[in-house]
Structure 1
Amino acid sequence: MTRAAVIAGVGGHVPPRIVTNDDLARHLDTSDQWIRTRTGIATRHVVDPGTSTGDLAVEAGRRALENAGADGADLVIVATTTPDRPCPATAPAVADRLGLTGVPAFDVAAVCSGFLYALQAGAAAVTAGFAGRVLVIGAESFSTILDPEDRTTSVIFGDGAGAVLLRAGTREEPGAVLDVDLGSDGSLADLITVRGGGAEERSRGGTPRPEDRYFRMDGKSVFFAAVRRMAQSSRTVLERTGWQVEQVDRLVAHQANTRIIHAVAEQLGLPPERAVTNIEHVGNTSAASVPLALADGLADGTLRAGHRVLLTAFGGGATWGSATLTWPDLPAG
């Protein structure tokens, strides 16, 4: 039997504070109807002052370990665009707070594709024999990098974290990560970006522009690129897995907005009801999006043991990725 990484547990966490569309409409030129029509989002969760990405990651990681009935992991990977600090990485502190001091831990930065990049890294560590259990976390406090006056981004994003625990197993087991496809195109870097705060800005000298501190996105271009790349990547990973599209029971796409999710399903020829969605309640949580959707899908019964599941995402970089697995029998508590 072929050694593989198997999903042994999942966990999700969102901060308690809820921001509704009506809340945003009080200071932005927008409305509940405008936001719902264009994004499918009704509410999103936002961190309170003093709560960081690491705090969210710790709670999601703890829940994934509990769901798996596991007391630890040999490797911790945190996918995030909003690390607690530019230096050091957030993952070592997360590992320490989970009682995993001494294990290797590192961050992955691929924006909304970050979880799939981290999943591939974790799965590779397991299949290579480097680790027996890997905790893979996607976590974001995206509200901390949004321009509060920009209605094109402030209405879309929310904060949260999701995690999976991978264990060593065999490819024949339910929960095995069967295949992963990843890609990037750096010529599209300006589609999704925070221009300030890095070496590029600092090496130029002079006074930083205040607007460069905030997240910016070319929404129209992102829409078309995301649909095209997620559909292409999905077809690639399905072919490598040996699945026909009609065999896919659940599509767990990055929760960018409902129009993108439905467009990807349509491109693939999947009925929209096979898409797992939680964006209405949590918004776009970037690297946390896919694992948080997995946790919510398990909790509400949308994901059931034996389902053939296709994961796919598109993010800044530009980056994209897809993965296939058969959903394992996990406790929904």
Structure 2
Amino acid sequence: MADAGITVASVGTALPGPPIDNARLGALFRSGPVFEQWIDSFIGTRTRHLAVDLDTGEIACTLADLGETAGRRALAGAGVTPAEVDLVVMGTATPDALMPATVNLVADRLGIDGVPTYQLQSGCSGAVQAMDVAHQMLSTGRHRTALVLGGDVCAKHVDLSIDFARLPPEQLVNTVLFGDGAGAVVLTTEPGPVRLRRVLVRFTGLNRPPGQSVEWFGMGDRHDERIAFHEDFKAIEESVPVMAGEILEELLKDEGWTSADLDYVLPPQLSVKMTEQIVRRLDIGDAREISCIADTGNAANALPFFQLERLLPDMPPGAKAVAVAVESSKWIKAGFVLEKAG
């Protein structure tokens, strides 16, 4: 959807606990230096933050906890009170529970009431989908200020009692690839320097098998032998760089820009190695890459907010930025365009 005078007033993020490095995971998996070298060579992530205590197995914080912290930071950064928020939208693949929706828990804790709230169930495009919903609703003129949240906490899927050394590679990768976190932005119709010019969300998974699936177990199937996570890494490796290029090309075309006009690109953050592969395929000219994956791990719907947190303070007047996100569970193209007034 094209720009309708929507601006990004602020961003806030939250991470659980201290960073967990590869040596710590190597000790947990009883694999030592060989495991660390494998992560460095094939994943590239240096640290990630986890909402589970690796010593006790206890869940240290929830998505609602992180969303509250990120939301408070975003509101404070924008100088906006809870009473001034008239729309809340959240994107996540791992809500704390099926009901109540995590977005409503966060709104309650922040003191936001009497406004529309929406929670979108989606993977790595969920944060952008949440931005799209807020962008469209603000564009109607019926709302002025939106709090947009995104994040994921995979702690409920971590079982420290298993023998990690015996896991097949596809399950082991999921254990080291992901991290937990949350982020938030305040979008407003008030004038501001950073405009959210356009948001793109498009489902492209017709007749395509999922690239990723996450099971949700209930009382009736909690002892089922199905694994919680499944990824088709070959399909993801083949499809995501191509889709990322298509997203960037479409957003530039819609704006009437070329790659030479770009100052910043926020690429998909699957892993360090995958992001490097994607960026090599993108036509970004001299644009600066904004990535956070090496330090945060794949924190899914929190990632665009971590990228924005790094981008916004450095954007000079007139700078142009494009963010790209790919949802590989059922193949969604997503992205957004920012421009700072000059």
* Ranges of 4+ aligned residues in structure 1 off by more than 6 Å: none
- Tell me if structure 2 keeps the 8 A contact 1:126–1:132: yes
* 2:259 corresponds to 1:238: no
Q: 1:311 aligns with which of 323, 336, 341?
A: 323
Q: Measure the CA separation in 2 of the matches of 1:328 and 1:54.
A: 34
Further displaced range: 289-298 or 60-69: 289-298
1:124-273 matched pairs, under 5 angstroms: 124-145=136-157, 149=164, 150-169=171-190, 174-184=193-203, 185=205, 187-188=207-208, 190-197=210-217, 209-212=224-227, 214-270=228-284
Residue 234 of structure 1: CA displacement? 1.4
Give the 3-state SS of the residue equivalent to 1:209 in structure 2: coil
Q: Report if aligned partners of 1:90, 1:106 keep a CA contact under 8 Å in 2.
A: no
Distance 1:194 1:96, change over 3 A: same
Report the Cα offset of residue 328 of structure 1.
Answer: 6.7
| Structure 1 contact 230–313 (Cα < 8 Å) conserved | yes
1:59 alignment partner AA: T
Q: Which residue in 1 is equivalent to 2:79?
A: 69
Q: Does the 8 A contact of 2:260 with 2:286 survive in 1?
A: no
Letter in 2 for 1:323: F
User: How many pairs were matched up?
Assistant: 318
State TM-score, norm by structure 1: 0.87
- 1:272 offset after TM fit, Å? 8.1
Provide the C-alpha distance between the structure 2 equivalents of 1:159 and 1:9, rounded to a whole number of angstroms. 21
| C-alpha distance 14-270 of structure 1, shift in aligned 2 (>3 A) | same
Decide whether aligned partners of structure 1 residues 144 and 307 sit closer, same or farther in structure 2, where only a CA change above 3 A counts: farther
Which amino acid in the other structure matches residue 127 of structure 2?
A: F
Contact preservation (8 Å) 1:310, 1:324: yes
Q: Calculate percent identity across the aligned residue pairs.
A: 27
CA 1:78–1:230: 2 relative to 1, 3 Å? same
**Matched residue SS, 2:270:** coil
- How far did 1:206 drift? 6.9
Structure 1 residue 19: Cα displacement: 1.5
Gaps of 5+ in 1: none
Q: Which runs of 5+ in 2 are unaligned?
A: 53-58, 165-170
Q: Deviations over 1:213-250 (max 9, x none)?
A: x2221222112211111210111111101111121111
- 1:295 Cα deviation from its structure 2 partner: 1.3
Write the letter of the residue equivalent to 1:197: F
* 2:36 equivalent in structure 1: 32
Q: What amino acid is aligned across from residue 180 of structure 1 in structure 2?
A: V
Deviation at 1:70, TM superposition (A): 1.0
Query: Are the aligned partners of 2:259 and 2:285 in contact in 1 as well (CA < 8 Å)?
Result: no
Q: Normalization by structure 2: what TM-score?
A: 0.85
